[in-house]
Amino acid sequence: MSAGMNAIMEKPRPEVRARRSSFGIVKSGVLLFLSTLVVTQLYPLLWLFTYSLKTNEEILSGSFFSLPQVAQWSNYTDALEAGNYWRYLFNSFFVTSVTMASVIVLAAMAAYAITRFQWKYGQLIMLIFLLGMMIPLQSTLLPLMIIFKNMGILNTHLALILPYVAFSTPLAVFILCGFLKTIPHELEESAVMDGANVYRTFWSIILPVSVPPIMTVCILTFINIWNEYILASTFISAERLKTLPFGVNSFVSQYSVNYGAIGAFLVLGALPVIVIYFLLSEKITKGMVAGAVKG
């Protein structure tokens, strides 16, 4: 009798079985979607890597999905030597680092003033920054060319850093404002009671708490500037000042193109972005959702 009762009790109800079945279908659908997403994101990188190991004959044969018959590691040697990789890499790191530091400082101070100060022009300033996100970069090329020529900074790294900072700051302010609104005012009040002024409060309390969104700003700024070509090709003509995207032109001549070396150079150019993203991926994810929940 007790065994029969236990069997009846252990047997799941029809609605429970239906719920489990629907959950299994949803789970399978989600896994299929994520697997498809991973494949579509990783495949271009894998294809580019195999492309960089091929000869020109294999690339021009039209067999885009085939593996190289013999891995041409000499393409990477050509990319490092003939492509001036190290010089362009240093220039890109210099311009990107200065821009990122300037954007973080300016955007953090602007976001702090907009969200934490009680002044009537805060929303107006925020609106101006949001309008700055809508200005196309291409529409500023001619005015900036004239301005930089009159200032005497054309064909210098400063001619790149200034517009990079201007175009990266609005998005950074938008991200940081969303986070700073969630910080309790009690932190600042306790700092004021301890004798800290506005600047000490900002540097010692607000900035350390804002590390997650700052990391998000860093990686977004890094990616946008690292791959930028239009401004760099417009304002820079000296070979010693060119950034990494210019390296591809080193393998294109009047009568021939070294496609394998171009692929190798693209792999080497994307490698720093991939490494930095994986190192900061956890903090980037926290920064993207930091301002989503009030607390």
Both 198 and 272 in a single domain?
no
161 shares a domain with 76: no
Q: Establish if 8 belongs to a structural domain.
A: no
Residues 201 and 278 in one domain: no
Q: How far apart are CA 137 and CA 235, in angstroms?
A: 13
Among 245, 261, 277, which residue terminates a domain?
245
Contact between residue 263 and residue 48 where contact means Cβ atoms under 8 Å apart = yes
Paired tokens of 50? 């195999």
pLDDT score of 20: 62
Instruction: Tell me which residue range forms the domain holding 256.
Output: 52-82+252-294
- The per-residue pLDDT for 18 is 57
The CATH number assigned to the domain holding 153 equals: 1.10.3720.10
Per-residue pLDDT of the chain (295 residues; tens, 9 = 90+): 454 545 444 555 665 555 666 656 777 777 888 778 777 777 888 888 888 888 888 888 877 677 888 888 988 988 888 888 999 999 999 999 999 999 999 999 999 888 888 777 778 888 888 888 888 888 888 899 999 999 999 999 999 999 999 999 999 999 998 888 888 878 777 877 878 788 888 888 888 888 888 888 888 888 889 888 889 888 998 888 999 888 888 788 767 788 888 889 989 988 888 888 777 766 666 555 554 444 4
Query: What's the confidence (pLDDT) of residue 295?
Result: 41
Dmax (CA) of the chain: 98
Residues 6+ away with beta carbon under 8 Å from 38: none
236 and 107: one domain?
A: yes
pTM: 0.78
- The C-alpha atoms of residue 103 and residue 212 are separated, in whole angstroms, by 15
SS (HEC) of the chain: CHHHHHHHHHCCCHHHHHHHHHHHHHHHHHHHHHHHHHHHHHHHHHHHHHHCCCCHHHHHCCCCCCCCCCCCCHHHHHHHHCCCHHHHHHHHHHHHHHHHHHHHHHHHHHHHHHHHCCCCCHHHHHHHHHHHCCCCHHHHHHHHHHHHHHHCCCCCCHHHHHHHHHHHHHHHHHHHHHHHCCCCCHHHHHHHHCCCCHHHHHHHHHHHHCHHHHHHHHHHHHHHHHCCCHHHHHHCCCHHHCCHHHHHHHHECCCCECHHHHHHHHHHHHHHHHHHHHHHHHHHHHHHHCCCCCC
On whether both 217 and 160 belong to a single domain, the answer is yes
- Please check whether residues 276 and 156 belong to one and the same domain: no
Phi-psi region at 152: left, alpha or beta (left = phi > 0; alpha = psi -120 to 50):
left
218 and 263 housed in the same domain: no
Q: Are 76 and 114 contained in the same domain? A: no
Confidence (pLDDT) at 5: 47
8 Å CB contact between 160 and 94: no
Write out the two tokens for 273. Answer: 């972005």
Q: Which of 63, 43, 101 is nearest to 225 (CA)?
A: 101
* Same-domain check for residues 111 and 167: yes
pLDDT attached to residue 282:
67
In a domain, 11, yes or no: no
For the chain, the first-to-last Cα distance in angstroms comes to 56
Q: What is the pLDDT of residue 41?
A: 74
Same domain (yes/no): 149, 237: yes
Asked, for residue 231, whether it belongs to a domain, the answer is yes
Residue 46 counted as domain residue: no
* Whether residue 240 sits in one domain with residue 131: yes
- For 10, half-sphere exposure in the C-beta direction (CA atoms, 13 angstrom radius) is 6
Whole-angstrom Cα distance, residue 1 to residue 213? Answer: 63
* Domain match, 172 and 236 both: yes
Structural domains in the chain (count): 2
In a domain, 9, yes or no: no
| Confidence at residue 19, expressed as pLDDT on a 0 to 100 scale | 62
